[in-house]
Amino acid sequence: MQELAKANLPNERVYFPKAEGLKLFEQMGEFLKCELIQEKADAVFSAYRTGKFLDFCRGPHVPSMGRIKAFKLLSVAGAHWKGDERSHPMQRIYGTAFFSPKDLEAYLHQIEEAKKRDHRRLGKDLDLFSIQEDAGPGLVFWHPKGGVIRREIEDWLRAELTARGYDLVFTPHAMRLHLWETSGHTNFYRENMFGVMDVENDQYQLKPMNCPGHILIYRSRARSYRELPMRLAELGTVYRYERSGVTHGLLRVRGFTQDDAHIFCMPGQLEAEVQACVEFALLVLETFGFDSYQVELSARDPQHAEHYAGTVEEWNLAESALMNTLKRMNVPFKYMPGEAVFYGPKIDIKLVDAIGRPWQLTTVQFDFNLPRRFGLEYVGPDGQAHTPVMVHRALLGSIERFFGVLIEHYAGAFPVWLSPVQAVVLPISDKHLTYAQSVADELRRAKVRVQLDDRNEKLNARIRDAQLQKVPFMLVVGDREAENRSVAVRRRDTGDVGSRPLAEFIVWARQLIDTRATKW
């Protein structure tokens, strides 16, 4: 590669009529490339020639190899043709290139950091979750320690939802296929859905989304404008088909739980609802310790009004509700015309983690399609039937994915309130065991998650283990501590912080937990 870069060969774009190009690649013995050309190439397709090397590619490429000033091969991994486990095995070579050695250096540093934070490794080391061959790819088992974190996340979320006027609902995991035909999912979403189940000569579908369930609740009786806005929320588990070759830890899975909600309201209520969603989303970021984020507003392509469901007035109203809200709240955003899906504009919020990586999190999505397909109505102040406006919104997105991001952001060292074990009590020797036990009991009564490590191991070895498990506090107790009911406190980050009365430590720990402190 260095020789090629030095030779500064041009990357020449060449074109072939499909049949002629196919023959050429066949002669070169590139049978997989031929398959791609058959599938993807237009009547005339592009390829790139670099010296003797010819490749089928849409491009673009750098004009010549001399432009590449810094590059590195990153890894080699086994893969399968098109990510399908049953197809042709291949070797995939990963590399990267930059215009300056400094940029390459910064990138490699980020990769190194990311490796240390890999949630799949930490999930195993800290015993948080697993994905098991016996159950199948992309299906997540939350172990007791991961379960504690999930419960903390969900408890916080449920309390906030209730305080913000959401109603919590539950809907079935499998429903008649007919429902998904009405919603249109069997048309435009089929490839993401699990196969159909036959039950008593009827067909059922595992749910890929929660929306139709909430719609059925809305439609279960006549609605008056007085009931609006109606905010139906569910921690709803959905199943989506991903090829087994592309599932990835907690980030890309086949079953996951969304913190999903659907808001049904009148047009005049829209702006207030959108603002409440954005405020809620920003509170999520703050609560879980993320300082920076990016916001995108996806709008319609004004040249192609015919591509979209809903009327021009509806789109104008929805887009201005989104834009006005962001402007009023002084939230910087990127405006992306033409990026909206056919059924409505949306706001996406990405969090930026500790090492600068953006992660898609929150979506606030308008829908002009489903209320019509399901014939949703409310009786307005005028006594007439009207179609409500519907907004889909998820803040964390998927709880599994959010958990993966949390693990990587904190490199497994969670804030005290989220830590599965918040303190470990370490008696110096056996004769301090009774006191250690009473310390653990008292912490437990104060609802601090505590473990007593009375294993017959050297104190240093037990401290190291607690450190590796990223327990926030290690409480060492010996003669002196037993005498004056105190604990010698070690923090996992700064080490020894000295002795203090047990009662005082409990106040400190409770305060960190109750305020959900992320920095301490």
Pair 223, 204: CB distance under 8 Å: no
**DSSP for residue 190:** G
Tell me the window of 324-332, 333-341, 388-396, 476-484 that interacts with Zn ion (CB under 5 A). Answer: 388-396
Pick the closer one to Zn ion by CB: 212 or 415: 212
Pair 161, 284: CB distance under 8 Å: no
The CB-of-198 to Zn ion minimum distance in angstroms stands at 27
Pick the closer one to Zn ion by CB: 211 or 488: 211
The CB-of-362 to Zn ion minimum distance in angstroms stands at 13
Catalytic residues: 211, 240, 258, 260, 262, 346, 392
Query: What are the DSSP E strand ranges found in 240-342?
Result: 255-265, 292-299, 334-337
Omega of the bond leading into 60 within 30 degrees of 0 (cis): yes
The residue among 183, 219, 209 whose CA lies nearest residue 376 is 219
Tell me the window of 5-13, 250-258, 389-397, 472-480 that interacts with Zn ion (CB under 5 A). Answer: 389-397
Candidate residues 211, 276, 390, 509; the one interacting with Zn ion per rule CB under 5 A: 211
d(Cα 232, Cα 165) in Å, to the nearest integer? 9
Give start and end residues of each alpha helix (H) in 127-269. 144-163, 177-183, 185-188, 211-218
The CB-of-296 to Zn ion minimum distance in angstroms stands at 19
The CB-of-208 to Zn ion minimum distance in angstroms stands at 10
Pick the closer one to Zn ion by CB: 148 or 211: 211
Neighbouring C-alpha atoms within 13 Å toward the C-beta of 408: 26
Pick the closer one to Zn ion by CB: 363 or 419: 363
Q: Which residues contact 295 (CB under 8 A, 6 or more apart)?
A: 326, 331, 332, 333, 334, 347, 348, 349, 350
The CB-of-215 to Zn ion minimum distance in angstroms stands at 9
d(Cα 136, Cα 520) in Å, to the nearest integer? 40
Q: How many residues of this chain interact with Zn ion, rule: CB under 5 A? A: 2
Matching residue, tokens 């703050």: 286
The CB-of-140 to Zn ion minimum distance in angstroms stands at 21
392 binds Zn ion (CB under 5 A): yes
| CB neighbourhood size of 462 (10 A) | 19
Pick the closer one to Zn ion by CB: 321 or 364: 364
The residue among 395, 409, 403, 407 whose CA lies nearest residue 361 is 395
Sheet holding 450-452, edge to edge: 450-452, 423-427, 473-477, 486-491, 495-501
Site string for Zn ion, 171-210 (x = CB under 5 A): ----------------------------------------
Pick the closer one to Zn ion by CB: 259 or 400: 259
Query: Under the rule (CB under 5 A), what is the footprint of Zn ion?
Result: 211, 392
